[in-house]
């Protein structure tokens, strides 16, 4: 945000400079003569000349000065900048103007964090922890439509005044929502915004995925996130339109008049609830690059052009012999829509007009199909799962967890009605069958692995299966046990001028190791070595390591890291096998080898000069 910091009193200079240092694109304006600040005659004259030149104005002054300075300039919350007032002592940061739309509330909280101040935000939805409905369009890149205003949406794409009028119409549904009246949330697509909504549902909001499942008489408000605007119900509704639809068009040669053809295309799409705000791209064959209609559309939308070969490879539901004869491919509009969307099915099959054809497909990543999230549970302590990982567990329809390797407490995050199963007694085929059963029903599946899934996580075969069936999946990383070992040992595993590499490996047991990765070869670097899954072959590991490491090299044997029964044993490499045998350690044991363990030697010398300013009084 381009920000003007308006300083009135010298007492607030330190706070002003601190804010300038933390807020990019910010500048201090003051009536004082201060080096590094821009001098102004008065706050009132500066604001009058620059009110709309900045995204935010931060007053460091008394509230009265702030209010008097901005009062003559205030017009409406859709165009006014964010205004925040900070007292000269830096104790309070107050959101004054354009709290939601202008971002003042969010900036107020940030300023308070920077200064260690108390944020003062009086907007009702913020005070009650409710969603700020009028911020969703900007926050999630959605276009809002209010009930019957859907018919006017073609105009709103072009007319800013109409857009502002429509935003003003949000006041009634917002008041209903803030009053916690029963609200239905209809979601037909998936994106970051819908994931956030589902993870942060207020108690008076119920989620639906099909319009026909909503019994309108039970609700006072409907919120909808969909690229297709549903028929207006009998109660207030806000429909948020994400840009998720890819349009394919075919055109007769020199189709025109241009404006008439465009209007005909929009009207055809409108019959299916699709409006310009939902369009992510428009595509056609490259032979149509010079067409007037295409040139006109290119001014408003991303345009993709495909060759005959590109289009000819796509299987479509309605191939045309006529199109094949004239263009050399059996389809233009349907094939182009499918190519751009990445989908293999159409949302709207080819519709023919007088001199055009049009088809539409939903962006594949926005489709509410099944999804599998592979989640790293962390090393054991339930609190060490990532925030995202916990959110995935909370929204999952199926949690398939790796038996006793994963803390049972994490499965308690499951939402009511979710299925929670251990994979300990399942073979791979049984795991795949269960996940696919839920996936094919459009459900959200979490495959919960210990540590970080990419390190001995056994996910390769699963991903191969998902790829074969073209299934949607993603990986949420987790904290690995080698990181937990470093924390438990209070050690930095990379020490300047001593060791700069960490080797994550395992000894050769029933699973063969590549010849080039034999332990004694890896040990030649004298790196910090973290050895997984090898407590059962401790004597073999010790013998191999002693070929390269000195026998007095520090070792740590870490059992059940971060679990309640965690145990750590320290010693020297020559005693590694003895430590493991005497303490009867087998599974879930990490072996760490290297001089970085507990090393503090030389650090003062290395860093004393570089960081000496931190120790000045």
- Of 237, 135, 138, residue with least CA distance to 186: 237
pLDDT at residue 411, as a whole number? 92
- Of 478, 436, 481, residue with least CA distance to 592: 481
pLDDT at residue 384, as a whole number? 96
- SS3 letters for 288-357? HCCCHHHHHHHCCCCEEEECHHHHHCCCCCCCCHHHHHHHCCCCCHHHHHHHHHCCCCCCEEEEECCCEE
**Residue 24 burial (10 A CB sphere; 0-12, 13-18, 19+):** exposed
* 517 plus 571 within the same structural domain: yes
Question: Could you give the CA distance from residue 337 to residue 279 in angstroms, rounded to a whole number?
Answer: 11
What's the CATH code of the domain at 540?
3.30.950.10
* 405 plus 473 within the same structural domain: yes
576 inside domain = yes
* 552 plus 454 within the same structural domain: no
Measured from the Cβ of residue 366, the count of other Cβ atoms closer than 10 Å reads 20
Question: Could you give the CA distance from residue 174 to residue 162 in angstroms, rounded to a whole number?
Answer: 19
616 inside domain = no
Minimum mean pLDDT among 30-39, 123-132, 235-244: which range? 123-132
* 511 plus 547 within the same structural domain: yes
* 154 plus 104 within the same structural domain: no
140 inside domain = yes
Look up the pTM and report it: 0.70
pLDDT at residue 617, as a whole number? 44
* 252 plus 352 within the same structural domain: yes
Segment 306-319 shows an average pLDDT of: 94
pLDDT confidence tier of residue 166, bands split at 50, 70 and 90:
low
* 390 plus 463 within the same structural domain: yes
Question: Could you give the CA distance from residue 478 to residue 375 in angstroms, rounded to a whole number?
Answer: 7
610 inside domain = no
603 inside domain = no
* 141 plus 228 within the same structural domain: yes
Question: Could you give the CA distance from residue 281 to residue 302 in angstroms, rounded to a whole number?
Answer: 5
* 181 plus 261 within the same structural domain: no
What's the CATH code of the domain at 472?
3.40.1010.10
What's the CATH code of the domain at 313?
3.30.420.180
Q: Which of 479, 504, 529 is the last residue of a domain?
A: 479
Q: Which of 197, 223, 241 is the last residue of a domain?
A: 241
* 118 plus 148 within the same structural domain: no
pLDDT digits (tens, 9 = 90+) for 522-555: 999 999 999 999 999 999 999 999 999 999 999 9
Q: Does pLDDT of 402 surpass 50?
A: yes
Q: Does pLDDT of 158 surpass 70?
A: no
Give CB contacts under 8 A, 24+ apart, made by 97-105: 97/70, 99/123, 99/126, 100/125, 100/132, 100/134, 100/135, 101/77, 101/134, 101/135, 101/138, 101/167, 102/55, 102/56, 102/77, 103/1, 103/55, 103/56, 104/56, 105/132
Q: Which of 122, 147, 166 is the last residue of a domain?
A: 122
Q: What is the domain extent for residue 391? A: 371-479
What's the CATH code of the domain at 78?
3.40.50.11220
* Domain count of the fold of the chain: 5
Q: What is the DSSP string of 253-290?
A: TT---HHHHHHHHHHHHHTTTB-GGGEEEEEEEGGGTT
611 inside domain = no
* 464 plus 495 within the same structural domain: no
598 inside domain = no
* 237 plus 253 within the same structural domain: no
536 inside domain = yes
């Amino acid at each position: 945000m381009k920000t003007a910091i308006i300083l009135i009193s010298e007492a607030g200079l330190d706070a002003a400079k601190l804010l300038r240092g933390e807020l990019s694109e910010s500048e201090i304006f003051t009536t004082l003569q201060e080096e590094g600040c821009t001098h102004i005659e008065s706050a009132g004259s500066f604001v009058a000349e620059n009110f709309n030149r900045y995204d935010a104005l931060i007053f460091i002054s008394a509230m009265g000065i702030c209010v008097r300075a901005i009062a003559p300039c205030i017009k409406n919350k859709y165009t006014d900048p964010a205004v925040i007032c900070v007292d000269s002592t830096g104790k309070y940061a107050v959101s004054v103007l354009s709290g939601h739309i202008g971002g003042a509330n969010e900036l107020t909280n940030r300023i308070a964090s920077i200064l260690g101040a108390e944020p003062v935000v009086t907007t009702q939805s913020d005070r009650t922890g409710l969603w700020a409905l009028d911020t969703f369009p900007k926050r999630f890149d959605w276009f809002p439509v209010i009930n019957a205003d859907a018919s006017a949406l073609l105009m709103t794409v072009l007319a800013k005044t109409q857009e502002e009028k429509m935003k003003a119409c949000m006041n009634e549904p917002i008041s209903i929502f803030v009053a916690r009246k029963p609200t239905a949330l209809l979601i037909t697509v998936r994106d970051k915004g819908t994931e956030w909504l589902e993870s942060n549902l207020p108690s008076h909001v119920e989620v639906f995925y099909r319009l026909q499942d909503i019994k309108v008489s039970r609700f006072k408000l409907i919120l909808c996130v969909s690229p297709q605007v549903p028929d207006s119900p009998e109660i207030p509704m806000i429909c948020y339109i994400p840009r998720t639809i890819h349009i394919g068009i075919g055109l007769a040669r020199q189709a025109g008049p241009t404006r008439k053809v465009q209007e005909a295309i929009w009207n055809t799409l409108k019959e299916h609830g699709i409006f310009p705000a939902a369009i992510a791209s428009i595509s056609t064959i490259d032979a149509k690059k010079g067409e007037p209609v295409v040139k006109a559309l290119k001014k408003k939308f991303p345009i993709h052009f495909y060759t005959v070969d590109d289009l000819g490879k796509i299987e479509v539901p309605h191939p045309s012999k006529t199109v094949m004869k004239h263009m050399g491919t059996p389809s233009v509009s349907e094939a182009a829509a499918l190519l751009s969307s990445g989908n293999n099915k159409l949302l709207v099959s080819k519709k023919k007009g007088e001199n055009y054809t049009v088809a539409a497909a939903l962006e594949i990543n926005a489709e509410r199909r099944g999804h599998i999230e592979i989640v790293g549970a962390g090393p054991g302590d339930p609190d060490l799962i990532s925030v995202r990982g916990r959110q995935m567990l909370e929204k999952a329809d199926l949690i398939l967890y790796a038996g006793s390797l994963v803390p049972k407490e994490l499965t308690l995050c499951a939402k009511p009605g979710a299925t929670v199963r251990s994979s300990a007694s399942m073979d791979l085929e049984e795991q795949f069958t269960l996940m696919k059963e839920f996936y094919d029903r459009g459900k959200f599946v979490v495959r919960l692995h210990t540590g970080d899934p990419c390190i001995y996580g056994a996910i390769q075969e699963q991903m191969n299966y998902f790829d074969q069936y073209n299934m949607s999946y993603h990986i949420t990383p987790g904290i690995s046990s080698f990181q937990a070992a470093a924390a438990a040992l209070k050690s930095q595993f990379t020490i300047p001028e001593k060791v700069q590499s960490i080797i994550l490996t395992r000894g050769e047991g029933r699973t063969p190791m590549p010849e080039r990765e034999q332990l004694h070869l890896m040990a030649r670097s004298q790196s910090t070595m973290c050895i997984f899954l090898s407590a059962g072959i401790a004597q073999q590991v010790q013998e191999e390591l002693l070929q390269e490491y000195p026998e007095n090299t520090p070792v740590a044997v870490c059992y059940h890291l971060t679990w309640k029964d965690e145990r750590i044993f320290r010693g020297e490499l020559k005693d590694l096998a003895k430590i493991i045998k005497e303490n009867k350690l087998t599974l879930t044991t990490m072996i760490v080898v290297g001089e970085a363990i507990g090393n503090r030697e030389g650090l003062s010398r290395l860093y004393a000069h570089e960081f000496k300013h931190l120790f000045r009084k």
